[in-house]
């Protein structure tokens, strides 16, 4: 199709169309409401042959997707903030049932107090539901990661959230290189479930299981609850290799590789790195250029994956830098930002010196984050002389009371 100028929401809807989704569960919530609106236009015009199901809640939306996926359909929905929180029970069910749903999440602050503006508290709060989580730097990555998400999800039978910043990406127009439908069809063939539902051969899907393995209808032992959980964990552990492989294949077909789970900018000789996720990587890159003009060798590492967490890639990227400023739009109350905690954990096994880390909380509820603010974060980090002098708690980069 070539280049188009699209908002993030339009991009997510177009990506779903290119993936030939078959069931769409639609429920509006700002700032993702435009996604089902655009998809409804595709369905009404005949451009997309899909069941468009209008539901009464986000909980029901995920229930529709789970049911559709269990019978072999490629299912899609989108949500944000309190809508995502309302899905919480069903998110666990989708991962435990091993259904390959792909769901864009237009990141928005959770109420109360109410806000319709952006931070990542909503999706970060769902990190332990068993879903893979991809984070997008720009609108091009939204399109690419929805397509890649289905390829990976259907191979591993694990659902995927494609997360992107509300308003900053969802409502901002950017150039997006859109592949031809034939090329997407070649990369992403129709979904083939592992089994078929047949009334002549009934099967029991997601039965109540006990603590110990029990015989199935074929007489073989099937795992108990803990064994099923272990299988999901092992699949997510193996997912990094699968994502890298499929991301490399994606790059060969479309010219944009996602083999590397990290966005890297001017990292080769950096004395300080910004570590972040999502569109903050853009502001951090601008701050990096400003700092370089002032003689500070700054770089950026942005995570495209939060689940599964790319431990080896993060450790390799950060092991040779003396300082890092972990900048994020979420807080794990009582400790620090979840990204900071997990980055530090990834560095735990390193031999020798580890970088001094300072965690900065920014942009909650849509608070503007300017490159000059991040330059200040870098200067604060550079002023820390040793690990013992690093702040014990996150630094809130805001002048508000």
Q: Is the pLDDT of residue 267 over 90?
A: yes
In this prediction, residue 218 carries a pLDDT of 67
226-255 mean pLDDT = 97
Answer left, alpha or beta for residue 157, where phi above 0 means left and psi between -120 and 50 means alpha.
left
What local confidence, expressed as pLDDT, does residue 42 receive? 98
Please compute the mean of the pLDDT values over residues 233-253 and round it to a whole number: 98
Q: What is the pLDDT of residue 383?
A: 96
Reported as a single tens digit per residue, the pLDDT across 80-90 is 999 999 999 99
For 166-198, the pLDDT digits (tens) are 999 999 999 999 999 999 999 999 999 887 778
Q: Which of 137, 95, 67 is nearest to 307 (CA)?
A: 95
pLDDT at 216 over 70: no
Q: What is the distance between the alpha carbons of residues 194 and 72, in angstroms, rounded to a whole number? A: 9
pLDDT by residue (tens digit) across 39-97?
A: 999 999 999 999 999 999 999 999 999 999 999 999 999 999 999 999 999 999 999 99
Write out 286-302 in H/E/C secondary structure: HHHHHHHHCCCCEEEEE
- What b/e sequence results for 154-180 when a residue is b if at least 16 CB atoms lie within 10 Å of its CB, and e otherwise? bebbbbbbbbbbbbbbbbeeeebebbe
Phi/psi region, residue 130 (left: phi>0; alpha: psi -120 to 50; beta: rest), is left
Q: Name the phi and psi angles at 201, rounded to 5.
A: -135, 75
Domain range list for the chain: 2-187, 263-396
Strand, helix or coil for residue 351: coil
136 three-state secondary structure: coil
- Across the range 229-255, mean pLDDT stands at 97
- Domain 263-396's class? alpha beta
**Positive/negative CA dihedral, 105, 111, 116, 117:** negative
Share of the chain above pLDDT 70, in %: 98
Lowest mean pLDDT among 1-10, 115-124, 206-215: 206-215
Class of domain 2-187: alpha beta
On the question of pLDDT at 217 being above 70, the answer is: no
Would you place residue 165 in the very low, low, confident or very high pLDDT band (cuts 50, 70, 90)? very high
CA distance 65 to 161: 13
Q: What's the pLDDT at 311?
A: 97
pLDDT recorded at residue 206:
73
Cβ atoms of residues 101 and 75 within 8 Å = yes
Residue 288 has pLDDT above 70, yes or no: yes
* Residues 99-132: tens digit of each pLDDT: 999 999 999 999 999 999 999 999 999 999 999 9
The three-point CA angle 396-313-351 to 5° equals: 85
Domains 2-187 and 263-396 share a fold: yes
How much is the mean pLDDT over the chain?
95
| Res 203 pLDDT > 80 | no
């Amino acid at each position: 199709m070539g280049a188009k100028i699209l908002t993030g929401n339009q991009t997510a809807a177009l990506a779903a169309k290119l993936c030939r989704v078959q069931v769409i569960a639609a429920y509006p919530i700002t700032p993702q409401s435009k996604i089902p609106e655009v998809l409804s236009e595709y369905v009404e015009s005949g451009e997309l042959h899909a069941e468009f199901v209008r539901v009464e809640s986000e909980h029901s939306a995920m229930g529709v997707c789970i049911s559709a996926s269990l019978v072999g359909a490629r299912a899609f929905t989108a949500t944000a903030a309190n809508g995502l929180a309302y899905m919480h029970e069903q998110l666990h069910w989708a991962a435990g049932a091993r259904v390959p749903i792909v769901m864009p999440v237009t990141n928005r602050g959770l109420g109360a107090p109410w806000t319709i503006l952006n931070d990542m508290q909503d999706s970060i709060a769902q990190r332990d539901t068993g879903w893979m989580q991809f984070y997008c730097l720009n609108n091009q990555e939204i399109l690419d990661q929805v397509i890649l998400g289905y390829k990976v999800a259907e191979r591993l039978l694990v659902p995927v959230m494609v997360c992107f910043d509300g308003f900053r990406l969802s409502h901002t127009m950017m150039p997006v290189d859109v592949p031809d439908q034939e090329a997407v069809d070649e990369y992403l063939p129709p979904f083939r479930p592992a089994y078929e539902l047949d009334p002549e051969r009934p099967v029991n899907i997601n039965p109540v299981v006990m603590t110990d393995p029990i015989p199935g209808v074929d007489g073989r032992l099937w795992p108990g609850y803990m064994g099923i959980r272990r299988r999901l964990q092992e699949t997510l552990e193996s997912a990094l290799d699968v994502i890298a492989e499929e991301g490399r294949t994606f790059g060969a077909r479309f010219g944009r590789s996602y083999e590397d789970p990290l966005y890297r900018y001017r990292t080769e000789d950096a004395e300080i790195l910004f570590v972040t996720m999502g569109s903050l990587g853009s502001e951090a890159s601008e701050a990096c250029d400003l700092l370089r003009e002032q003689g500070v060798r700054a770089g950026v590492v942005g995570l495209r994956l939060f689940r599964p967490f790319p431990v080896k890639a993060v450790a390799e990227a950060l092991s040779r830098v003396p300082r890092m400023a972990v900048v994020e739009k979420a807080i794990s109350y009582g400790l620090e930002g979840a990204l900071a905690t997990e980055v530090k954990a990834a560095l735990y096994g390193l031999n020798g010196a580890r970088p001094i880390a300072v965690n900065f909380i920014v942009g909650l509820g849509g608070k503007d984050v300017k490159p000059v603010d991040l330059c200040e974060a870098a200067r604060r980090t550079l002023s820390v002389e040793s690990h013992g002098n690093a702040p014990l708690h996150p630094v809130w980069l805001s002048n508000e009371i």
